[in-house]
Amino acid sequence: MTRPIAVVASTLVLVVLPFALTSYQLGLLTKMLIFAIFAMSLNLILGYAGLPSLGHAAYFGMGAYTVGLLALRVRDNFWLDFFAGLVMATITAALFGLLALRAKGSYLLMITLALAQVLWGIAFGWRWLTGGDDGLPGVPRPGAGLPFSLAEGVRFYYFVLVLFALAVAVLAVIVRSPFGQALVGIRESERRMEVLGYNTWRYKYVAFVLAGLFAGLSGNLFVYYNGFVSPAYLSIVFSATALIMVILGGAGTLLGPALGAAVIVLAENTISAQTERWVTVLGVIYVAVTLFAPGGLIGLARARQRAA
């Protein structure tokens, strides 16, 4: 099956699938799409620019908290709240990028983790504003400011699907552009790109900020999906989960992280019903993929296709 046909077929399946699903299954599919955006945002810096991060949940959580606080404490208006969530996530990524991109490799990994933990500590300790570990329940689905409410599951699913499709389209343009090709060159050999005259720090910084923007988009959608936001949205577990989604699906591929997100979300909901050791299982998945399928599911499929 050629790529355009596969894209059209996948789109049609996602459009008609809600009519064949229960409300629980539809909610699970919606969650998969939201986390697919989150994983693809991390993939922009990890898979294409080679920048590891254990603090990507910072932008996810910042978007979610901004939407939740505005909707509950200020004014429930979709356009105001949603746009503010994107802006705050982007500003956070811009500020963190100025600090984090001074380091490389494992030092970069630790700095991103430390910066995200600062936000987690603020959300956990600033109880009068954020609700502390109790979080902020009762965040309403989009409705105010729109011609119709998205409280109903099918409408909200199509809303998420449209934003997912837009995110994929924009990311496809980015990674296939000269900018995206430059990021790949930086991942492979930053020193060589510098010799060729590229300002590698600027390229990495722009990618870092764009990744924060898309992570904020997924955070906005998730707080509407869950109707709740808590410090867990800023935690290392969320960041590590996104990292595993990218690696499982295939870092450096456009839709590999989306596939990884779907597998992880499905596995979490299946396994969590049987045991409380989901985080342990997540660690086992990471080790298994790293050892036996370092190219992820997409890489594994391509290798088998070449061998056939």
Q: Which residue has the higher pLDDT, 279 or 222?
A: 222
Please state, in angstroms and rounded to a whole number, the distance separating the CA atoms of residues 277 and 285.
13
The pLDDT tens digits of the residues spanning 156-209 come to 999 999 999 999 999 999 999 999 999 999 999 999 999 999 999 999 999 999
State percent of the chain over pLDDT 90. 66
| Residue boundaries of the structural domains of the chain | 22-235
Residue 236 has pLDDT above 80, yes or no: yes
Strand partners, 228: 137
What's the token pair of residue 120? 């987690």
pTM value? Answer: 0.94
- Burial (CB count <10 Å: 0-12, 13-18, 19+), residue 152: exposed
Please state, in angstroms and rounded to a whole number, the distance separating the CA atoms of residues 167 and 46.
17
The pLDDT tens digits of the residues spanning 287-303 come to 888 787 778 888 877 77
Q: Is residue 281 within 8 Å of 267, Cβ to Cβ?
A: yes
- Calculate ∠ Cα 167-169-174, nearest 5°: 90
pLDDT at 145 (0 to 100): 61
CB atoms within 10 A of CB 200: 19
Helix (H) / strand (E) element for 88: namely helix 78-100
Tell me the DSSP string of 126-140. -HHHH-GGG-EE-PP
Cα–Cα distances (Å) from 287 to 38, 63, 253, 281, 291, in that order, read 21, 30, 20, 10, 6
What's the token pair of residue 149? 């409410």
State percent of the chain over pLDDT 70. 97
Q: Is residue 251 within 8 Å of 244, Cβ to Cβ?
A: no
The pLDDT tens digits of the residues spanning 87-142 come to 999 999 999 999 999 888 889 999 999 999 999 999 999 998 998 989 999 999 88
